[in-house]
């Protein structure tokens, strides 16, 4: 909710006050419903991902997230009927297979955490396809900053009940921010500001490439996160798990090469 509040606030400043880009109006009820759907799905993907981190190590969470391109290709075909070259789909096979192998070799596997993680992954893929439609479709086209301006406040409203249900002590935490907590509070503000930059970049990449490319690029970040999380949290990994992670990363590299050749 802090992330989306920052996105709403900074988007308003950028568009209305600084006038970096012209303010766009919502053109139709259909477009508004798509923006609402995008906001709700986005919230679901983030909440599901955060809940899964209570049960799964970051490394495994990122490995499962690497299957996002598979779901993105599936939703893109079902919603927009957009088809990729068969070689592109073939490259997604090791991405998914690697995660299946890593799941079998994960000593900290938790079924509920895995279900939440895979649900968040599918929601993230659906969000990418929907935002691609809103950013690129001739009938719906919005620029990235305006889409974030409309999406963020809806997401904040949707997250308010989730906050009080899942984190009932959150107001007490904010009220007790003293000298010993000021540093953490500053980090939260900085983190929320970075979320604005991340979401804006996310939309720009989707607009100028594709939803599928965005998710495959995200897997490069995931590979780095796997290594860093293992170093920081010292969570146990097995040879099978490492083999699965490696297969997923190789699939991502192969995907990037096929997209370059068949562009």
For residue range 191-244, list pLDDT tens digits in order.
Answer: 888 888 887 777 777 667 765 666 666 666 666 666 777 778 776 767 777 787
Local structure of residue 210 (DSSP, 8 states):
-
Cβ–Cβ contacts within 10 Å for residue 99, how many? 26
pLDDT at 181: 64
Poorest-pLDDT segment among 56-60, 159-163, 208-212: 208-212
Give the domain ranges of the chain: 2-13+27-169+179-261
Answer whether residue 101 shows pLDDT above 90. no
pLDDT at 130: 86
Mark 5-40 as b/e (b = at least 16 C-beta within 10 Å). Answer: bbbbbbbeebbeeeeeeeeeeeeeeebeebbbebbb
Answer whether residue 55 shows pLDDT above 80. yes
Answer whether residue 105 shows pLDDT above 70. no
Higher pLDDT, 77 or 100: 77
Query: Hey, is 70 helix, strand or coil?
Result: helix
CA distances from 243 to 45, 109, 173 (A): 27, 16, 41
pTM of the full predicted structure? Answer: 0.70
pLDDT at 217: 65
Computed over every residue of the chain, the mean pLDDT equals 80
Poorest-pLDDT segment among 31-35, 133-137, 175-179: 175-179
Answer whether residue 26 shows pLDDT above 80. yes
Higher pLDDT, 157 or 64: 157
Residue 242: φ, ψ to 5°: -60, -40
């Amino acid at each position: 909710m802090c992330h989306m509040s920052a996105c709403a606030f900074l988007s308003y400043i950028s568009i209305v006050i600084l006038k970096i880009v012209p303010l766009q109006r919502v053109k139709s009820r259909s477009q508004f419903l798509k923006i609402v759907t995008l906001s709700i799905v986005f919230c679901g993907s983030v909440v599901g991902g955060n809940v899964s981190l209570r049960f799964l190590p970051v490394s495994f969470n990122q490995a499962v997230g690497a299957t996002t391109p598979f779901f993105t290709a599936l939703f893109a075909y079902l919603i927009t009927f957009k088809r990729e070259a068969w070689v592109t789909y073939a490259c997604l096979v090791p991405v998914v297979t690697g995660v299946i192998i890593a799941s079998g070799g994960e000593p900290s596997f938790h079924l509920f955490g895995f279900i939440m993680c895979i649900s968040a992954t599918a929601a993230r893929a659906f969000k990418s396809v929907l935002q691609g439609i809103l950013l690129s479709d001739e009938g719906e086209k919005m620029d990235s900053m305006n889409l974030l301006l409309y999406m963020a406040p809806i997401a904040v409203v949707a997250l308010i009940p989730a906050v009080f249900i899942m984190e009932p002590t959150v107001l007490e935490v904010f009220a007790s921010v003293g000298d010993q907590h000021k540093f953490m509070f500053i980090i939260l503000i900085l983190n929320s500001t970075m979320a604005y930059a991340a979401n804006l970049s996310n939309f720009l990449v989707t607009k100028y490439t594709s939803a599928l490319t965005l998710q495959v690029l995200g897997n490069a970040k995931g590979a780095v996160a796997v290594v860093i999380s293992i170093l920081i949290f010292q969570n146990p990994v097995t040879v099978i798990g490492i083999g699965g992670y490696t297969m997923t990363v190789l699939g991502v590299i192969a995907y990037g090469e096929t997209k370059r050749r068949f562009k």
